[in-house]
Structures are given as structure tokens and as C-alpha cells.
Structure 1
């Protein structure tokens, strides 16, 4: 853990409802109709939760071109066509509406004005303002993808003044073992040793089996002879192509079960993502066999993102005691419709089984919006329950606090104050 002070950051108005430019001398705090003094008690309570972002990546370390920025606000890996802009999307509109005031602009500027202001401030100041405005109290940073383009745990902690701890990607550890040199017979033992060493201070593990094969992988742990044979195939393929990327389903199963043996909470990407995955094979229901086989181990399994299968994930979280889920990047990418996604996530699962994450990677806009849009959605959904007389206000505050922070603190053993 990288310790840091836990004072409350300034944020952009109350849940992003402000209509004016940023208040002079207070980056990220905007004036308008949605101030904390005028907001209801529920809105204020949700605004003040020091969120635990239990699955997030580093902020972008540098000033992106317009082309690169647009590539980073979509899950597409194709070039943006010349006749369109990614700003014309729910996420693009959310950037212009909610991030512009944090950078000292009126809401809803045109993309050119927004990006010019971003460049004027520079990456360091943009990151500082947007990350502070998110109001996250603790980051669990997944470090398996991104390299030098994004900030690692120590720079993120220095920038935010918040604790930043690591979630380790299983596939990256395996690829590091092969890059460092191994034979097929020794792979399993070397991977296990490397995983334990790599995770001495980690809070969790992550698998991207959804990307490398699909969630319909055979759920059973492979036999040792199968692992040796699969490792041999992988080593020969890596030598032939010069690329080290684990994708053999036998090896992916072995990594998962070794991770379960490690005993740390294990995250799975499910649902929406870039075209490197087949969305049809990313329904979390496909993990049911693995979930049942792993249940006696008692290791928490965390289903990330889940959209558009978040209702299925809610079912799994209801019926299996060791299963948890979030709606992660689904909230950012649905923007003004994120309220509906959050509402649907609250239908089946016990509230102790739902967590908050942003899955932000790159532009700090994604870190800020992940928190702001989630807070706004929770306020509107839970506020509706209270207004209808279905819930009391204290119940709504307690549930929001559970999902926003307390559940993650319990699952990952973070303690009450981080």
C-alpha cells in the first residue's frame, strides 16, 4: 500500500449539476443550482462518500492529440471515420457536460474549445483537477495493460493524495515467466512462484480469459500433463511468432485455478469491451460451472462491468455467496442513460454484493465521470425509492455507502479508513 492523506477533495458542484464555470481559485468546484447547501440530504450524503474504485487503471501521462483522445473515449479499436467524431456519443457528451466545468469552461462547449482548454492547462493540471473532482478515497489499480502511456501506482498516489494498491493480472504474470525463460515442464511451478512473489502487496487478481478465449472455457482445473503439453505448444508458438500472448484455454484455466489457490479476490472481465473479445461469449452466466467448482474455496469472485449482461450478473451475485459484481465502464459509456443501467443493477443482487468501479484507463475524464455519473445515478434511483415511500432516507444512504465503499473495503480487506 502507498499511504496518502485522506482529506476530502474539491468536486465539481453537487453531482455535476452545476451550470456555471468553475469558481475562481477553486479548480473543480463550480457554481450553479446544484450546490451542496441546496441539495437534499441524500444527494449530499452520496456526494461525500469517499469511493473505493475497486477496478481502475492509470491516468494518461501526457497530452493527447484530438485523434488519440477520441480513440480513448470509445471501445472501438478502429480509426475514427473522417465523417464523424467520437464526441457525438453518450460518453463524448458527458465529457463536454461534466468535465468542462472542472477545467474552467461552461458546460457543453464544442470539442475544439474543450480540447484547446485541456492543452492549455497541460496533462498534469488536467489530471489533478479531474482526479480530485472524482472524490475517490482509495484506488485498486489493475496494472496489466498500458505500459508507459499511463501512470502506475506510485505516480497515481502522488497525484491524487490517496492510497493506491494493485490488482495483478494473471495473464501478464504468465507472459512474464515465458519472457524470462522457462521450459514446458517447469512452467507451472515457475508461474506459481512468480504469482506469489508478484502479489506480496497486491489486493486482488484479475483474469482476461474473456478476451483470450471466452467465458465458456472448461471450468475444471486441467491435469498437470495437460498443462505441460499446452505450455509446450505456447512456447513453440511464441518462438515462431516472436509474440508472447497466452491464449490456450488449458493454460488460461490453469492460471485461474492457480489464482484461486492464491486466495486473493479474483476479478473477471465480463461483458462489454473492445473487439478483441467476442461479446456473445462474455455473458457472466457462462462462468456458472467455474463459480460452483470454486465455491468451496471461499475466494471472492468479482464480475466486472457486465453490461449488457448486468442483470445476469445480479442473478449470480444473488444465488452464490462468493460472487460480486459491478457495472463499471457501462455507466461511463451509457452517459445520460447510465441511470437506467445502475437501476437495473439494483434489481436482484443483495446490496452487500454490488461494488463501484470506473474501469477508467487513460484520460482522467473517465476517472471523473465514472464517479460522477455513478453518484448521479444512485441519487436519482434511490431518491425515487425514497420519494415513493418504498425506502427510508437512512436506508438509501446506507446502501449507497455500502456499494460505493464499504463492500469493497470488506472484500479486499482495506479496513475502514484505507
Structure 2
């Protein structure tokens, strides 16, 4: 990460160095390697993944404004250039050079790469190539829903489905540093966190095998998948990354997992970060991903980071850019995280709450130290 203009406040040198040190990005996806039309670029920049309504543009969003402010200088443009100028420069440089500059400037030491996000074919950078492009290492995070889809497509019976699911997840855990789920929020606002009985699972699996191409929505099989993943994660010493959803669904499951000794990392917490912070402050196995909160806007990132620092133990906060689709998202995730944490640390130093050594230690822990310990990097 280039130091010029990144941090919004004056800080002691040792704190600045800790903030600007290479990060471990514990939640990222593939980015496109091909040259993009404006329409496709805007779609990938948006969280919705759909075009802007007629007469509007996704550049009129926090992410669009951030691209023009912070990504433009990396491409040798002045801040705040019009969208057309930015995209023309992007096309002039070509996707390979744009990715090299933006991923490299993000200052990432290691990407934890979702092994099933945006598969996209040859136009998406594979993990090794994305790492080389950004000057970083890469390791895999295995999404458990992908294992279930494979088993549902190949199992010859409901009983075979049950055994094959555990075997598939174990094989994935053996070559990944974590397991990841995005399914718990599909079970409704108050899912039953208990393990389903074997007979109930077999009956549900029989129904599932009759419709293998459909997305998994059966609450019995969702719970079975989650608990099978917990068993595998415990056996292999892997954390479980967990999307909680906007309604608070999955909270009971997170609580129920505690006796198993499996760390749970809550992803995509913002704007529900206070609920995630409460879980992490009361449950010793819960970690909070702090990166997705400020990834879309810089101004509010210090406020969000300050709230997390108020309640979440410092050793259970980890950074993830949430980058996906275009390299701009990875770059902005890292930059806004650094700026947000810098503002929160500066306020504590100014008030005399923390020493300089405290601030530097917290920046190092959240930026990389906690993730290296948690994922055994």
C-alpha cells in the first residue's frame, strides 16, 4: 500500500507502519481478467449485480464515487475524474495492467480465496494468477454448499447422500484453511439450531435427489449440511466462515456450535455489525470480519471501526476486503479498512485511552496477526 494520502490523520510512525503493513485478506473472490464494457463494469461494481435503472448509473453510489476518488490515482488520473474518463483510461491500460496496479496497491500479503465464488470461466482470474498479479500468496476457503450440490447431483440413494456429503466436505477441508457457508439465512428468521435426526435427513435427502438441480432450501438438509461441516471443521481444525443474513437468522446455530470448539467467523456484518459485535463479545469462539463494513465508503468507516473496537475483543477481529468481480473492490476494501481503523486509533490516542504501543499492536492483530493464527498460515 502506497503511503501517500492513504491515512486521513497524523499518527506516530510505528502506528502508521502497522496500518500500512501487508494484510491478510480473509474473504475475497475472483476478479475479471478481460476488458469490460461500461455496462458490465457497473454491474460488477454493484452489490446487486444488475444494471442501474434507465437514466441512472452505478457510479452514483458510494462505490462509484470511491472508484473515481481512490482508484483513479492508481491509474495515473486525477481524483474525481468523470466516469467516462476513468473507464477510457482503464481500457487504454488493459485489464491485466489495471489488475496489476490495483491489486498490488492494495497491499495484500495473502488472499483467502473462496473456491466457488464467481466461477465465471476463463474470464475470471484463478487464485494462483490473482495472487501473482497482486504480489500475494493464495490459500483456499471451501464453500460447503458447493460440496452439497456435487453430492446431490451424483448420489445414487438418500443413504449414499449422507455418507458422500461428509466425505466430500472432508476432502475439501484437507486442502483448504477454512470452510464457509452462505446457507444458514435461507432457513428462515428463527431456524431450529438442533441437529436433525438421521431418519429425518434421509427422508429429506430422498426428496432432494428427485430435484438435484434446484438450490438447496430444505431446512432439514440445510441444518444437516451445517452440522456436518462443523464435525469436519472440528476434525481438521478449521474455522467456519458464516453468513448470518439480515434477519439475525443463524444466531442460534452460532451459539449451539460453541461446545464443539470450532471458531466461527461472521462475514458481511455491516450494517448489522452491532449484532455481530454482541455475539463476539459474549461468545469466545466468534470472530468478526471488519473489512466488509467500510468497503463501500470511507467517511463512515471510522465510525463503524470505532463501534467494533468498543465491544469486540481485539484478538477476534479480522480483515476481509470482500473483493469480487473487479480489482477496484479489493483495492477499496483494503484502503477503506486502513483509513477507518486509522481514524478510530487516532481518536483513542488523542483522548489518551491507548498508548502508541497499544494502537500499533491492535493494527497488527486485525490486519494480519489474528488471521495468521486463526487460519494457521
Give TM class, smaller chain.
Answer: over 0.9
The question of whether the paired residues in 1 share the 8 Å contact of 2:19 and 2:363 is answered with: no
The CA deviation at 1:210 is 4.3
Higher relative CO (CA 8 A, sep ≥ 6), structure 1 or 2?
2
1:196 to 170, 174, 179: 170
Displacement over 4 Å in runs of 4+: none
* Cα distance per residue 1:60-98 (max 9 Å; x no partner): 221221111111222224431122111111111111110
Q: SS of the residue aligned with 1:302?
A: strand
CA distance in structure 1 between the partners assigned to 2:187 and 2:252 by the alignment: 16
The CA deviation at 1:407 is 0.8
Q: What is the aligned partner in structure 1 of residue 286 from structure 2? A: 323
Q: SS of the residue aligned with 1:87?
A: coil
The question of whether the paired residues in 2 share the 8 Å contact of 1:204 and 1:265 is answered with: yes
CA distance in structure 2 between the partners assigned to 1:226 and 1:291 by the alignment: 22
Q: SS of the residue aligned with 1:139?
A: strand
CA distance in structure 1 between the partners assigned to 2:187 and 2:297 by the alignment: 26
* Cα distance per residue 1:170-193 (max 9 Å; x no partner): 111110122234321210100111
Change (3 A) 1:191 1:244: same
Q: What is the aligned partner in structure 2 of residue 274 from structure 1? A: none
Q: Where do 1:18-417 residues align within 5 Å?
A: 40-41=12-13, 44-147=16-119, 148=121, 149-210=123-184, 212-214=186-188, 216-238=190-212, 243-263=213-233, 264-271=238-245, 279=246, 281=247, 283=248, 286-414=249-377
The question of whether the paired residues in 2 share the 8 Å contact of 1:269 and 1:305 is answered with: yes
Q: SS of the residue aligned with 1:405?
A: helix
The CA deviation at 1:212 is 3.4
CA distance in structure 2 between the partners assigned to 1:366 and 1:190 by the alignment: 36
| TM-score of the pair, normalised by structure 2 | 0.93
Change (3 A) 1:203 1:92: same
Question: What value does the CA root-mean-square deviation take over the aligned residues?
Answer: 1.9
| TM-score of the pair, normalised by structure 1 | 0.84
CA distance in structure 2 between the partners assigned to 1:61 and 1:270 by the alignment: 31
Q: SS of the residue aligned with 1:165?
A: strand
Moved more, 367-376 or 286-295: 286-295
Q: SS of the residue aligned with 1:267?
A: strand
Structure 2 residue ranges without an equivalent (≥5): none
Q: What is the aligned partner in structure 1 of residue 4 from structure 2? A: 13
Change (3 A) 1:39 1:126: farther
Number of matched residues?
A: 371
The question of whether the paired residues in 1 share the 8 Å contact of 2:277 and 2:311 is answered with: yes
CA distance in structure 1 between the partners assigned to 2:15 and 2:37 by the alignment: 36
The question of whether the paired residues in 2 share the 8 Å contact of 1:12 and 1:133 is answered with: no
Structure 1 residue ranges without an equivalent (≥5): 1-9, 18-33, 272-278
